[in-house]
Chains A and B, each alone.
Chain A
Amino acid sequence: MDQQFIPRGLQRTSFTRFVTWILPWILLLGIGIYAMYLCLADGLYHTNMDNRFAFGLWIYLDLTIIALGAGAFFTGFLLYILRRDELKAVINSAVVLGLICYSGAVLVLMVDVGQPLRAWFTFWHPNTHSMLAEVTFCLTCYLTVLVIEYLPVVLKNRKLRQIPRFLVFEFELHKVMPVFAGVGTFLSFFHQGSLGGLYGVLVGRPFSFREVLGIWPSTFYLFIISAAAAGPSFVLLTTWLVQKLSGKKVVKPEVMQFLGKVSGWMLIVYVLLKAIDTLYWINHTVPAEGGLAYSFYTSQGFGTWILFAEIVFLGLVPALVLLSKRMREKSAVLVGAAILVCCGIVMNRFVMTIQTLALPTLPFDLLMSYVPSWQEVATFMAVVAYGVLVYSLSFRYMTLFPQERDMRQ
């Protein structure tokens, strides 16, 4: 039925099976849109956040998917700036993932902030002293860059490329792609960093407060490096998932191994810096404020195991695995390590968002608990459904993996 739109030489499942696959996700998206409508029309009382627990599931989701979406900028940087041509095999997929992650994050932010009709205020009257002003500007610009980077992928569709205007524009746009890769890297450096810096400057939250290195707190740099480590692993993981779900080889194993190697190197640097930062925080930053770092790990559920899991089990272990050529050559080990890296970033963003806010800060404070409302969960799931739908449609109708045709044989 839709064969004329499917890239030549690539085999895709039947239209009926494809519709059956996407229907549940459309349903989930529909429920989420209804939940978003409730929040936007009636107000944020539909959520379980309040003035004290102002960052909930949505901000946690934002931070996580923005970190996972870093694969787009980092793959682009390696391909177009450092000329690692082997990454041509996954760049389209990385761009789609980046677009999904960033557009999903912006969508949830619009619901979270509320009053979308006044969104332009943040640009018109920016508070240049706020990390969030910088995040807003960079996110908007980078989302624009991702849309431009996604455009050639769409215009290369078999039917669209038959229109000379689209064909030529796609070709010329592709030529200036290194410019967008450079701009994307510049913007990502700042907004990934500012998202981390946001927690580092919270003087009233000693669990996340960090001292300034240069002009930013150490969390600024840690967020950039951790995102650069997790991005390639997420691209690797989604590529593996696509291969499993479609039953087709779409990239050469060497490409997957290279992504793992990049992720491993970035992660080992991150683990080293994170360990130094944590030790400095335990021995200097917290005592200087008159506290004891151990006290942050005595609350129910938030024990020192979190620190161990984040730095060692989900940091050092996958980093060492990915740095070993012998280990990378074993597909199951490579994918297992990539899963650990992604879980590590998910946990880090959870600790920075939820644990930071939940921990008591004054002597009479208690550990705060927060359970998201169904509207929050439905909105969260809508972003996941949106991502699956955009990726599924892109995989079916566009060439996300240029090596797929070669891999047939």
Chain B
Amino acid sequence: MFPFIYEFQWTPYHVVFLGLFFSVVGVILSAVSLALLRAFKTLRRRRHEAVQWEAEFEDLPVAARTCRHQIAGEVAHRTCNHEFDCRTCQAHQAFLAKLSPELAPAGTQESVFGFSLPLDRYYHRGHTWVTYDGDGIYTVGLDDFGNRMIGTPDSVELPAVGATLSANGSGWLIKKGRAALRILAPIDGVVVETGSAKDGWYLKVHGGEPEVETRHLLRGEEIKPWILRELERLQGAVSPAGVGMTLADGGELVPDMSKHAPHVDWDGVWGEMFLQA
């Protein structure tokens, strides 16, 4: 195997054969080392939340990854390939240049399919909302769709004041039954105050400029088609496997759905609706 071993010969057979073998071993070791090194760097830079979202996004069902411009009817079919981060998406910029969704007037309360979804707010695809309060402060809460799906949680774990949030990273944790749900943070920023379900909001966050920080969030006319699609996804998720959508059309979503349909795998349904693999 090596020149110092007594049977080794400097013949073409030995040199080519062992040369190829050691090259293969070298490539395997290099690739594993590269992965380890990159992983070490990512952990050191505390970027694991971003990595988690990137990995989970790829594992989401195709229906959950539909581009907001398809939902709004601006394009026939488009699956997001930018992890719902429209802030740096070239395609989003191109769509906006053609047709910009208008922000509804502040304070407009709209009931969308029975959900209370004020149109002065921005909505994240993971069912959180954001309002800009001025001076770089944003209020973050769980939207009515999310609230009705979960009902009253067993416990809520909020981040500490001073904790840094990143958009699509962990916002807070909700536990209900055997499910532990990571609610995705809608924006980047630092937590300055924590609330509760009773307050109607969960976090106050200090972030950057609203034009930039909220660019990836849904708003105005995008809300109604998005909620319609979410209802369809929910119907699909709670229907028995292989049967497809069988729920009766119409009606409103009752609060605390899990209480009314205990046979459903709510851990799976919530995971799917709150964008977790």
Contact = CB atoms under 8 A, between A and B. Distances in A.
Nearest to B2: A124
Interface in A137-175: 137, 141, 144-145, 148, 161, 164-165, 167-175
Size bin of chain B's contact surface:
35 or more
Interface stretch (B57-65, B95-103, B203-211): B57-65
A176 B43 contact: no
Question: Which secondary structure dominates chain B's binding surface?
Answer: helix
A248 B243 CA distance: 11
Contacts of B27: 179, 183
Given A125-B1, A168-B43, A187-B24, A8 B277 contact: yes
A165 B43 contact: yes
B25 interface: yes
B51 A168 contact: yes
A129 B43 CA distance: 47
A141 B13 contact: no
Contacts of A248: 241-242
A175 to B, nearest CB: 7
A171 B265 contact: no
Given A123-B1, A405-B61, A164 B43 contact: yes
A105 to B, nearest CB: 19
B42 A409 contact: no
A186 interface: yes
B276 A134 contact: no
Nearest to A178: B31
A297 B43 CA distance: 65
Nearest to A406: B61
A372 B1 CA distance: 36
B228 interface: no
Contacts of A134: 17
Nearest to A158: B277
Contacts of B18: 126, 128
Given A128-B13, A128-B17, A176-B35, A186 B272 contact: no
Interface in B1-41: 1, 5, 7, 11, 13-14, 17-18, 21, 24-25, 27-28, 31-32, 34-36, 38-39
Interface of B: 1, 5, 7, 11, 13-14, 17-18, 21, 24-25, 27-28, 31-32, 34-36, 38-39, 42-43, 48, 51-52, 54-55, 59, 61-63, 178, 236-237, 239, 241-242, 244-245, 265, 267-269, 271-272, 276-277
Given A141-B25, A169-B35, A175-B35, 7 more contacts: A11-B265, A126-B1, A167-B55, A171-B51, A172-B39, A405-B61, A408-B236
The 5 lowest CB-CB distance pairs between A and B, nearest first, are A9-B268, A409-B236, A8-B271, A172-B35, A164-B48
